[in-house]
Amino acid sequence: MLGCVSVAATNGLSGDAIRILVKALVNHAGRRSERVFLVGVEWKAGAEFDWQESLEELGELVATAGGVVIGNGVQKLEAPFAGTYIGSGKAQEFSDKCRQDEVDTVIFDDELSPAQSRNLEVVFGCKVIDRTSLILDIFARRARTREGKLQIELAQLEHLLPRLTRFWGHLSRQKGGIGMRGDGETQLETDRRRVQDRIARISRELDEVRQHRSTQREGRQRRLWPLASIVGYTNAGKSTLLNSLTGASTLAEDKLFATLDPTTRRLRLPSNQNVLLTDTVGFIRKLPHGLVEAFKATLEEVVVADLLLHVVDVSHPNADDQIEAVDLVLKEIGAAGHPTLMVFNKVDRFQTRDRAGQFLQRHPKSVVISAKTGEGIPELLAELGAALRPIRQFLELRLPHEASAMVAKLHEVSEVVECDYSGATVAIKARIQPHHRAEFDQFVVQELANGDAS
């Protein structure tokens, strides 16, 4: 495009003509990013999260969705207004600014009611959505699997259902034809019934997905491998960590909600223990409740996990708030109180380790790593093995010297803590996964407590 403008300039076109040409080329290419104005509220009583931080995060969400933030506005309130959420005077003030800056979309940082959305669109004269709608749009772009797409569509339809009036209020009642005498149905009623039918159909399909996941989970449990789920705030580095530990090829980008679909891979620890590691969808502040409900089939992997790896972007200035936000979502899905290993990631972004050290002091059972560079990964694997030790059976065994193949197999499939060849038999203390117990039962002398040896 710039080349075309240069040619036009050399051919003697005026500045106005060049500007018109540029605008036409941009419109033709369809590359004009959606211009967005953000609206936030500072609550006088004090909010759980700082409004500035929340608006910054909303701007990151807009960038992930492909929009460009051209400005924002904030109003200080004690309580939201029923009709327009913010005051009508402030709404008009923001509206004038949006018209001046040619804004395409206004996004509120809090959830709007259907009536508030309609009223605000009249005032602003453009599309008005809330944080929930923006997150749903991002999820819709990111979903790749059939399950993910179904979950997103369900959440979108449930969000849309009470807002259908906004789209069809201008239509008049349809007249019935043959077999439809009388006033018939409004287009709104027809669409509402179709949306409800679609919601019911998707819900049935997701129930089948849950049953399928349950069957897969039972198959994994028959192998008695422990399950560790990676959880954390969106863009904390969960997918990068999974790739680093298991060699998976999960998409890892420096964007919010880069991956939505869960990925499970086997990880073999240095202690010869097999672990199933699952990467889950990232969490965020003000995560829509409907989205949590729709993703229950996915989030069940977190609920049934033996251990949670809570990955935190330690370089983020609001890391503490993000930890609290993740804990709130875990509580909502019934995973609060699970054994958790805190993993403070992105330490490579610091020249000193002072900030990471502060987190380690507050969270003794934790490790500091860089999933990108590999720093701290050996320590993470050691802590992971230690956290999962209670799942193994700690046994003392005595094997004849001629059973060298069994001794070798024991070293292969278990964590051998002690091994003594000096006596009449080979004396071994080892942590064995329960499904291997039967192979060595004849050599077991006694069961030991997991704390008997390190």
Strands 274-279 and 263-268: antiparallel
**Residue 394: half-sphere exposure toward Cβ, Cα within 13 Å:** 13
Do 131 and 234 sit in the same domain of this protein? no
Do 405 and 365 sit in the same domain of this protein? no
- Window from 121-125, 293-297, 377-381 with minimum mean pLDDT: 293-297
User: CATH no. for residue 341?
Assistant: 3.40.50.300
Q: Which of 344, 373, 388 is the last residue of a domain?
A: 388
Would you put residue 30 in left (φ > 0), alpha (ψ -120 to 50) or beta? Answer: left
**313 secondary structure, DSSP code:** E
Do 178 and 286 sit in the same domain of this protein? no
Confidence of residue 261 (pLDDT cuts 50, 70, 90): low
Handedness of CA 325, 331, 334, 337 (dihedral sign): positive
- pLDDT, position 224: 59
Residue 201 corresponds to which amino acid? R
Q: Which of 319, 371, 365, 370 is nearest to 342 (CA)?
A: 365
Percent of all residues in the chain with a pLDDT value above 70, rounded to a whole number: 77
- pLDDT, position 353: 67
- Is residue 373 in a domain? yes
**Nearest 5 degrees, angle CA 17-CA 23-CA 26?**
140
- Is residue 215 in a domain? no
Residue 296 corresponds to which amino acid? K
3-state secondary structure of 361: helix
- pLDDT, position 98: 94
- Is residue 335 in a domain? yes
CA dist 272 to 199, 327, 371, 437, Å?
Answer: 46, 31, 22, 15
Confidence of residue 96 (pLDDT cuts 50, 70, 90): very high
Instruction: Pick the most confident of 119-133, 241-255, 273-287.
Output: 119-133
User: Helix 88-100 to helix 114-124 angle, to the nearest 10 degrees?
Assistant: 50
| Mean pLDDT of the 267-290 span | 81
| Mean pLDDT of the 102-123 span | 91
Do 375 and 236 sit in the same domain of this protein? yes
Q: Taking all residues of the chain, what is their mean pLDDT, rounded to a whole number?
A: 79
Confidence of residue 412 (pLDDT cuts 50, 70, 90): confident
Q: Which of 265, 276, 152, 147 is nearest to 213 (CA)?
A: 147
- pLDDT, position 106: 94
Quick check: 298 pLDDT over 60?
A: yes
Do 233 and 381 sit in the same domain of this protein? yes
CA Rg value for the chain: 29
Q: Which residues contact 366 (CB under 8 A, 6 or more apart)?
A: 341, 342, 343, 344, 359, 360
Quick check: 171 pLDDT over 50?
A: no
- pLDDT, position 435: 66
Q: Residue 265 phi/psi, 5° resolution?
A: -135, 155
Do 324 and 232 sit in the same domain of this protein? yes
- pLDDT, position 254: 58
Number of domains composing the chain: 5
- Window from 93-97, 140-144, 150-154, 177-181 with minimum mean pLDDT: 177-181
| Mean pLDDT of the 288-309 span | 75
Tokens linked to 164: 């259908």
- Is residue 359 in a domain? yes
**106 secondary structure, DSSP code:** E
Domain range for 8 is 1-32
Question: How does pLDDT run across 319-333, given as a tens digit for each residue?
Answer: 888 898 889 888 888
- Is residue 434 in a domain? yes
Do 329 and 420 sit in the same domain of this protein? no
- pLDDT, position 356: 74
Q: Which of 373, 388, 403 is the last residue of a domain?
A: 388
Q: Which of 44, 41, 56 is nearest to 317 (CA)?
A: 56
How far apart are the C-alpha atoms of 22 and 5, rounded to whole Å?
7
- Is residue 205 in a domain? yes
- Is residue 218 in a domain? no
In the sheet with 105-108, reading across from the earlier edge strand, the strands are 67-77, 34-43, 105-108, 127-130
Do 384 and 349 sit in the same domain of this protein? yes
Confidence of residue 249 (pLDDT cuts 50, 70, 90): low
| Mean pLDDT of the 55-64 span | 89
- Is residue 453 in a domain? no
- pLDDT, position 152: 80
Do 230 and 192 sit in the same domain of this protein? no
Question: How does pLDDT run across 34-47, given as a tens digit for each residue?
Answer: 899 999 988 876 65
432, containing H or E segment:
strand 425-432
Instruction: Pick the most confident of 13-17, 221-225, 245-249, 362-366.
Output: 362-366
3-state secondary structure of 56: helix
Do 374 and 264 sit in the same domain of this protein? yes
Quick check: 217 pLDDT over 70?
A: no
- pLDDT, position 443: 94
Do 196 and 270 sit in the same domain of this protein? no
Q: Judge contact between 158 and 290, C-beta under 8 A.
A: yes
Higher-pLDDT residue of 7, 264: 264
DSSP 256-304: TT---S-EEEEEE-TTS-EEEEEE-PPB-TT--HHHHHHTHHHHHHHHT
Confidence of residue 11 (pLDDT cuts 50, 70, 90): very low
- Window from 86-90, 108-112, 183-187, 212-216 with minimum mean pLDDT: 183-187
How far apart are the C-alpha atoms of 283 and 39, rounded to whole Å?
22
Do 72 and 85 sit in the same domain of this protein? yes
- pLDDT, position 22: 47
Q: pTM for the full model?
A: 0.69
Q: Which of 88, 106, 137 is the last residue of a domain?
A: 137
